[in-house]
Amino acid sequence: MAVHVSRHPLARHLLTELRDVATEPARFRQLAWTLSTVLILEATEHIATQDRKVTTPLEETSGSCLAQGLAVVPVLRAGLSMLEPALQLFPDVAVGYIGLERSHTTAVAHSYYCKLPDLKDRYVLLVDPMLATGGSAAQACSLLRAHGATKLVMASVISAPEGVEALANAHPDVDVYTAVVDRQLNDKKYILPGLGDYGDRLYGTH
């Protein structure tokens, strides 16, 4: 497993604004959209391509085009914020959904919804803004594997070292693309310094 922390200055700038407690939901959603775009571009850097001849207004030349379909699977609900950037970037995209809810007392996630497309031969991108304990991510990866995913990567806005370790133990071949690996989890399994509850900050809920 490899953890790719974005080195792009824009990613660091956007993350800083997302962390700010004063950032209102409308602005938070804007920032999240842009940062998700950066991370999704980085997470799909190894998608398969093939050579293609093309005729410009002046002459024929060679280039490349995508040779592999992409499947994007957000973990509900916060993962939905990372879906639209993927849909905007890729012309051939299949979408699945995994619903996982974490217990506030045990921090263990249980699945309440799973709807997936055909994942065969697709580059599968799991998106969830928070990689905290790693339990939800590991469970989602297991579901994707059971439905035929072979090439599988994860994009997460903010990660905790405990979550990275847990996912690496469960799925050592799944690379993670993230804006930051923060210090640790607190006793309530929230990421520190973090940015609070991503879904609540997106939608103005508590």
Determine the angle formed by the axes of helices 135-146 and 161-170, rounding to 10 degrees. Answer: 30
The question of whether 175 is a catalytic residue gets the answer no
Any bridge partners for residue 101, and if so which?
110
The question of whether 173 is a catalytic residue gets the answer no
Which of 12, 77, 102, 145 is flagged as catalytic? 102
Which of 20, 118, 121, 200 is flagged as catalytic? 200
Cα angle at 13 between 12 and 18, to 5 degrees?
Answer: 95
Task: Give the CB-side neighbour count of residue 152, counting CA atoms within 13 A.
Answer: 25
The question of whether 201 is a catalytic residue gets the answer no
Q: Is the bond leading into 12 cis (omega within 30 degrees of zero)?
A: no
Which of 12, 29, 77, 197 is flagged as catalytic? 197
SS3 category, 95: strand
Cα angle at 203 between 89 and 139, to 5 degrees?
Answer: 65
Sort strands 97-102 and 151-159 into parallel, antiparallel or unpaired.
unpaired
The question of whether 200 is a catalytic residue gets the answer yes
Distance, in Å, from the CA atom of 141 to the CA atom of 102, rounded to the nearest integer, reads 16
Which of 106, 150, 173, 205 is flagged as catalytic? 106
Q: Known catalytic residues? A: 102, 106, 197, 200
